[in-house]
Structure 1
């Protein structure tokens, strides 16, 4: 690895550590370090089960126990046995803890706004932050079935159309591109899969079925912040697995040769080019894969 690049990464880490207050004994002048404040924040966000809290914050058991005891000593939280499972514990904010959570939220919003104000192109700064966030948390990305009419699916579809409009230098109309009945993208005919990090949509792919053994891959999209991390391949593998589980034996898809990254991925994953199988106006390449 290039040493100059290593130094750039380390410089970035030092800057972030200072900016987020990792070195402060009193984070945001509230009398406790960042670690304690972060635990309080996570509990306020709903991570009340101690084991889930530990997994969310990626803390070892000993450190989390010490941080919880410190917050209990301040009467900011209470930890009690889980009434649904006596082997586990849950922790909740006290009234004082809720007040402190609200104060931290307000101060954190102010700090975030101040950071954005330093750059004359805040959108560029946010996009760079998203790339870093997704890269660091790539192992936390989840894949889940989604309703094609849900808010997160609609967001992905709008982003998909905007992305294709830009790449193909035209106005991409979803209705002209193999519009599907909702039932074709949900079991038992098909499925629609979302990749997300927390509440951040990162990608999607649909399997459009008709009850037979042949189905189509539709609406494959990856958010710019998640590109270069192998997410497209993981989504395609997920779609193929879902299709097999639905009894589908052959998948087809269409794409445009201008989308060279996608074309390369499909060929690398064993998709074979075939003749045109519909009259949609946008694609010029057609592929098939037997599962």
Structure 2
């Protein structure tokens, strides 16, 4: 990971302080209602009903803190909890009619606040701000995603491969046979590596590295969930796989791709991959690429 400059850290913290003050996040009566931001956000997230487990993952809250907030809202008649009908280990939270009324009013006030903030800008300036906010959200989402090396036979690895196979089966004119996927033993231990990207605990991408021959590796199955695309995650996965190759003493990595995956071809070229003649018998491949990697640095 590259070091982060003090200027970048200061800029982000300065924006956080300004924005939280400007929207009233520090007020115990957020949006003029009789509750702090945390409780107001919890009401919003509960919506039409959700498990407390999912809320913990979505909001990154401690289980005890979440339970206390839920009990407070329940005592106020805004939320009711129940046991999931198919899993007694799960507790469900849903809004009561009074809760729905409060969330509707919360949304009205939040929209009014946003309108008042934007009202002082011209149409062009509002467009500029909206674009900047979209960029900020994309980059902050990407920054929050973690990439972990897992066993190629793990549940998350297999789930990602299943999703990858279904995705390209729908895109390839000839379909895709899952038998062409890498085997767990090819991408585990000393033979290779399997990376999974996680967003808020949920797998949203993967990529595999296997050894083709001495000093030569192959990158396979770089995939990103549709909900996490256009963030730059595929490049992060590719970078991670290249680093895994360097750590294993592989000086060259190769990969292939289907003719319809034009966005993948563009990414590989932009990342320094050069097109080469066919090196395998993959029936789905139409383009083959290679990249020479740097020598591993000193430890």
Q: Is 1:35 matched up with 2:38?
A: yes
Structure 2: how far apart are the matches of 1:250 and 1:95? 52
Show the counterpart of 1:167.
171
Helix, strand or coil for the counterpart of 2:254?
A: strand
- Could you give the per-residue CA deviations for residues 97-155 of structure 1, whole angstroms, max 9, x where no partner exists? 7855885751269989x99xxxxxxxxxxxxxxx99x8363321101112222222122
Give the aligned CA root-mean-square deviation in angstroms. Answer: 4.1
Show the counterpart of 2:119.
none
Structure 2: how far apart are the matches of 1:190 and 1:163? 24
> Alignment partner for residue 25 of structure 1, among 18, 33, 49?
33
- Could you give the per-residue CA deviations for residues 224-244 of structure 1, whole angstroms, max 9, x where no partner exists? 122211111111111101110
Q: Is the 8 A contact 1:193 1:206 kept in 2?
A: yes
- Could you give the per-residue CA deviations for residues 263-282 of structure 1, whole angstroms, max 9, x where no partner exists? 01111111111111121211
Helix, strand or coil for the counterpart of 1:241?
A: helix
> CA, structure 1 residues 91+272, in 2 after alignment: closer, same or farther (shift >3 Å)?
closer
How many angstroms does 1:91 deviate by? 9.7
> Alignment partner for residue 150 of structure 1, among 142, 151, 154?
154
> Alignment partner for residue 270 of structure 2, among 257, 268, 271?
268
Show the counterpart of 2:279.
277
> CA, structure 1 residues 200+91, in 2 after alignment: closer, same or farther (shift >3 Å)?
closer
Q: Is the 8 A contact 1:24 1:34 kept in 2?
A: no
Gaps of 5+ in 2: 1-24, 46-51, 75-79, 82-91, 105-133, 294-299
Q: Is the 8 A contact 1:141 1:197 kept in 2?
A: yes
Q: Is 1:106 matched up with 2:93?
A: yes
Structure 2: how far apart are the matches of 1:236 and 1:246? 15
Helix, strand or coil for the counterpart of 2:93?
A: helix
> CA, structure 1 residues 92+199, in 2 after alignment: closer, same or farther (shift >3 Å)?
closer
Structure 1 stretches of 4+ moved >6 Å: 94-98, 109-112
Structure 1: how far apart are the matches of 2:284 and 2:66? 57
> CA, structure 1 residues 34+107, in 2 after alignment: closer, same or farther (shift >3 Å)?
farther
Gaps of 5+ in 1: 1-16, 27-31, 49-54, 58-89, 116-130
What is the TM-score of this pair, normalised by structure 2?
0.57
Structure 1: how far apart are the matches of 2:229 and 2:222? 13
- Alignment coverage as a number of residue pairs: 208
- Could you give the per-residue CA deviations for residues 190-239 of structure 1, whole angstroms, max 9, x where no partner exists? 10001110132221110012572111101111111222111111111111
> CA, structure 1 residues 109+282, in 2 after alignment: closer, same or farther (shift >3 Å)?
farther
